[in-house]
Every structure is written in structure tokens, then in C-alpha cells.
Amino acid sequence: MAWDFSTEPQFQEQLDWVDEFCRTEVEPLDLVFPGAAYSRDRKARALADPLKQQVKDRGLWALFLDRELGGPGFGQLKLALLNEILGRYRTAPVIFGTAAPDTGNMEMLAAYGTDAQKGRWLYPLMNQEIFSAYSMTEPQGGSDPSLFQTHATRDGDEWVINGEKWFTSAGARADIIFVMCTNGMFVVPRDTPGVEIMEYPAIHNHIRYNGVRVPIDHLLGPEDGARVLAQRRLGGGRIHHAMRTVAQVKLAFDIMCERVLSRESHGKVIAHHQMVQEAIADSYAEINMLRLLVLWTAWTIDNSSTREARTQIAACKYTCAKVLREVSYRALHIMGSLGTTDLTPLQAMWASAPTMAIADGVDEVHKVTVARNVLKGYQPHPGLWPTEYLPAKREQARKKYASLLAADADLAAWADAAARATSRRY
Ligand SMILES: Cc1cc2nc3c(=O)[nH]c(=O)nc-3n(C[C@H](O)[C@H](O)[C@H](O)COP(=O)(O)OP(=O)(O)OC[C@H]3O[C@@H](n4cnc5c(N)ncnc54)[C@H](O)[C@@H]3O)c2cc1C
């Protein structure tokens, strides 16, 4: 029987270790030295590096990469189960070598890089010796790549890049930036002359590329291949976001459940008020619907490809934003005044829901993808009536019993009466 919802004991042991490790090592580091895991400060890094080493020793480093791409080859389903834990802790993805935007960039490099490009960028990225950013969105519009203008021109042994990008996450601190041009994907070292980082936004940077010159071997994949590379990158990234969102909504749910049992109002613990019970029941069902959608999608990727699973990935993308919005809001609301402060993770979690609905493509675009792909499996009905128009279906079905109806008047009357009774309901 293939429909098995259990986790194999060996991997469950790994997950139990991860759970314990995150609670006892990663969370304290996050609370006292936030950002140490990706800091360039030598002392801060010295706090995080031993934790990364422990992850490597367990064989859990860079779990998102397939074996042929340089990772342990556990696949997306196992990664989803792992991310259900990591997503709860701010820097756990960095400690486990699975943090965006490096993950997507590494996937692109692993899939399309030459041996020399992998040697120069992929392995240092895997070891977090360098960090990267991804520059695709342009200020005049992000949802429609046909509006993008950033372009590279060949000049002898160099490419010269001109254009403007917007919302390049961590661009200002990256060592290399993957710049999507209309005619290819280029790897640009951030300190290349002509890379101008604007003052705002502070984290998701606005960057001008003013005649930026890179050697010809900084083109990644084929010339004019940027959209294919971008799809490869974003497909993986979106499902990883969804996996981590499962962790976030479970955290919101845990906070909410603890609170409803701890607080009294109008003569009883609030868990006994029916509207509070509705919030718990709806959240429970929505979290599990999201979780199963994500796990099924991860399983599909493992058994086919990211491309084959693109409809499911798109559905995960807007569903995770919706469930995050609903569940985090309910949890925040049930916390009362405390929920509106930054003294629990809930306010930040709720505020991140709109981001989840925009980053890596707005909800609307993913819904269009789902509707368009799903409708490919359907046809318009041939005549006037829909296929499920019951009188027409019944007429068809009567042909199967034609000889019986002709031979037995009682059964014919029975069938006629049943048909009239059904029609009278309308
Ligand atoms: C936190 C965060 C991090 C990000 N990191 C990066 C990054 O590292 N690199 C990068 O390149 N980009 C990044 N982005 C940018 C992100 O990919 C874009 O914001 C996104 O693609 C939408 O583009 P836009 O902001 O220009 O919105 P627009 O394309 O202007 O869309 C605005 C609104 O218009 C409507 N709309 C647009 N298209 C359609 C449609 N087809 N049908 C119906 N309605 C539509 C929707 O309501 C949509 O929300 C990040 C964004 C966020 C929020």
C-alpha cells in the first residue's frame, strides 16, 4: 500500500535530533546573538560555526541539493519534513546551509554552471565562505518579465551590463549577485565598478548596474536562457518557502493553544468559549491542508521534477500565504493586547503574510498558472447541456436497460415515477 503517511524510523531519529538541537542550540543563539550565523564578524561566526559543523557531521548540511548536484540527495520530501522544524527558528536555515537566497542561486549554479563556475562560486557558497543575492525584479514592474530592460552587451572578452534592479534581497552584503538580463543570467561580483547600491530599501536593495563589465565566463547557462534559469531557481525557492511556512503556522498554533488554556474570561477558560474553539478547529484543519499539499508537492518533485510539479508549487505558494495570514491573525487576536506587541513572534509573523503573497511572484500570477494548467485537462461540453445534466444522462442510461424496460411494465413505471419525482424538485 503506497499511501503511507509515516516517516521512516531512521529519518525520524534525525528529525528528533534536529528538533532538540534547534531548541537547545539555535534558538538561544538567535535570542542572544541574532544574525551571528551569517555575520562576517569573526567572533560572532565563531559562535555559529561549531553548530554548522554539528549539522555537517550528522549529514544534514545543504539538504536541498540532490546528490548529483553536490548535496546528500535526500530529496524534497525529507527536506519538507526538516523545514517543518527549521522554519520555526530565524537562523536555523543558515545553520543547516539551506537559507534563501543562496539556495536558489546554488541550484542554478549546480544545474547550469560549468565546472570552472562551480569551483569558483558553488562550493564557496555551499560552505558559506561567500554569500549571494538574486537581482531579477525591476522598479517598473516585477510580475511581468517582458517589461524588464536590464541588458548585457558583448564587448570583446567582456559583457557590459546596464540596467536597474529593485528588491535584490541582501544585495548590499552579497559577494556575488545573479543578475537576470533580457539576454542571459550573469554572475556579478558586488564590488565590480558600476554596481551602485541605492540608500533605500535597506535590506531588499535597489541596485543600478552602470556599464558593469564582467568577463565572458560570467554568463551562466546559455545566452538568452535567463527565463529558464529563473524558473528553475524560483520553483525550488517557492516550495522551500511553503515548507518553512508550515513551521511558522504550527508555531502560531502552539502559541494559540497554550494561551486558550491559560486565560479566563467571563467565568471560564477561554478554550471553552465556542468562538475560540472555532479558531482552533479552523486553524487545525487549514494547517493540515497546507501541510499535506506541501508534502504531496515535495513527493511529486521527488518522483518527477520541479517542472512537472509546477501547478502544485504555484498552489502551495498562494495557499501558504493565505494560511499564514489566517492562522497568525487568529493567534495574535487570541493573545489580546500582548499579541499586538513585538513581545511574541506573532506580530512579525502576521506582518510577514503580505510579503509571502508578493515575494517570488504575486498570488494572482500563481493563481493564473494553476487555473490555466488545470483547465488544460478539461474540454467544453459538446452540445447545449453540460455533461452532468441529469435528464440527458438518464435518457442515456435508460438505453442500457431498454430491453428490461420494454419487457417489464412494473419496472418501467417505477423508473418513470422516479424520473418525475426527481424533476419535481426543481
Ligand atoms: C520580501 C521580498 C523579497 C524579495 N526578494 C527579491 C529578490 O531577492 N530578488 C528579486 O529579484 N526580487 C525580489 N522580490 C521582488 C518580488 O519578486 C516582486 O515584488 C514580485 O515579483 C512582484 O513585483 P512588484 O513588486 O513589481 O509588483 P507588481 O508586479 O507591480 O504587482 C503589484 C500588484 O499588481 C497586481 N498584479 C500584477 N500582475 C498581475 C496579474 N498578472 N494578474 C492580476 N493582478 C496582477 C497584484 O495585485 C500585485 O500584487 C522580493 C519581494 C519581497 C516582498
The predicted-structure confidence for 147-181, as pLDDT tens digits, reads as follows: 999 999 999 999 999 999 999 999 999 999 999 99
Task: Give the pLDDT band of residue 40 (cuts 50, 70, 90).
Answer: confident
pLDDT in the model for residue 237: 82
Q: How far apart are CA 96 and CA 88, in angstroms?
A: 13
Ligand 1 near 230 CB (within 6 A): no
Q: What pLDDT score was predicted for residue 397? A: 96
Pick the atom of ligand 1 nearest to 361's CA: 21
Q: Looking at residues 248-267, what average pLDDT do you find?
A: 98
- pLDDT by residue (tens digit) across 325-372? 999 999 999 999 999 999 999 999 999 999 999 999 999 999 999 999
64-120 per-position pLDDT tens digit: 888 776 778 888 999 999 999 999 999 999 999 999 899 999 989 998 999 999 999
Give the separation between CA 114 and CA 116, rounded to whole angstroms: 5
> Does 171 sit in the ligand 1 pocket, CB within 6 Å?
no
**What confidence category does residue 268 fall into, taking pLDDT thresholds of 50, 70 and 90?**
very high
Whole-number Å distance, alpha carbon 306 to ligand 1 midpoint, is 21
**What whole-number distance in Å separates Cα of residue 328 and Cα of residue 334?**
10
Ligand 1 touching residue 318 (CB < 6 A): no
Ligand 1 centre to CA of 245 (Å) is 19
What is the number of alpha carbons within 13 Å of residue 84 lying toward its C-beta? 18
CA–centroid distance, residue 362 to ligand 1 (Å): 5
**CA-proximal residue: ligand 1, atom 36 (nearest):** 364
- Position 120 scores a pLDDT of 97
Give me the chain's average pLDDT, please.
95
Q: Using the 8-state DSSP alphabet, how is residue 307 labeled?
A: T
Tell me how far apart the terminal alpha carbons of the chain are, to the nearest angstrom.
44
pLDDT the model gives residue 72:
80
Give the residues across from 265 on adjacent strands.
Answer: 268
pLDDT reported for residue 423 = 73
What pLDDT score was predicted for residue 235?
Answer: 78
In ligand 1, the atom with minimum distance to the C-alpha of 136 is 11
Establish whether residue 135 lines the binding site of ligand 1, counting it when its CB lies within 6 angstroms of any ligand atom. Answer: yes
pLDDT beyond 80 at 2: no
Out of 103, 140, 167, mutate this one to test ligand 1's pocket (max ligand atoms within 8 Å of CB): namely 167
Give the integer Cα–Cα distance in Å for 65 and 104. Answer: 10
**Residue minimizing CA distance to atom 37 of ligand 1:** 143
Give this prediction's pTM.
0.94
Cα of 207 from ligand 1 centre, angstroms: 16
Q: What is the mean pLDDT of residues 362-383?
A: 97
Ligand 1 site, residue 8, Cβ cutoff 6 A: no
pLDDT in tens, 212-252: 999 999 999 999 999 999 988 887 788 899 999 999 999 99
The response to whether residue 147 sits with its C-beta less than 6 Å from ligand 1 reads no
Q: What confidence category does residue 426 fall into, taking pLDDT thresholds of 50, 70 and 90?
A: low
More confident residue, 2 or 134: 134
* 311-327 pLDDT per residue, tens: 999 999 999 999 999 99
Nearest to 323 by CA among 371, 282, 360, 275: 282
What integer pLDDT is reported at residue 232 of this predicted model? 82
| pLDDT-above-90 percentage for the chain | 89
Q: Which three cell numbers stand for residue 96?
A: 543547516
Which residues lie below 8 Å from residue 349, measured CB to CB, with a gap of 6+? 248, 251, 252, 324, 328, 331, 332
Q: How far apart are CA 241 and CA 246, in angstroms?
A: 9
DSSP string, 220-253: ESSTT-HHHHHHHHHHHHHHHHHHHHHHHHHHHH
Give residue 145 CA to ligand 1 midpoint distance, Å.
Answer: 11
Whose CA is closest to 18, among 7, 3, 6? 7
Ligand 1 centroid to 142 CA: how many Å? 5
Under 8 Å between Cβ of 249 and 284:
no
Q: Give the mutation target among 143, 231, 356, 365 for probing the ligand 1 site: most ligand atoms within 8 A of CB.
A: 143
- Distance from Cα 422 to the centre of ligand 1, integer Å: 51
Say yes or no: CB of residue 350 within 6 Å of ligand 1: no
Q: What is the spatial distance between Cα 205 and Cα 185, in angstroms, rounded to a whole number?
A: 18
* Residue to mutate (ligand 1; options 103, 137, 186, 190; most atoms within 8 A of CB): 137
Query: What is the rounded average pLDDT of the residues 270-276?
Result: 98
Strand partners, 165: 207
Q: For ligand 1, say whether the CB of 355 is within 6 Å of any of its atoms.
A: yes
Pick the atom of ligand 1 nearest to 135's CA. Answer: 11
CA 205 / ligand 1 centre spacing (Å) = 14
For residue 351 and ligand 1, the question of a CB distance below 6 A is answered with: no
3-state secondary structure of 170: coil
Which atom belonging to ligand 1 lies closest to the Cα atom of 171? 8
Q: Whose CA is nearest to atom 43 of ligand 1?
A: 364
Q: Say what the alpha-carbon torsion angle 313, 319, 324, 325 is, to the nearest 10 degrees.
A: 140
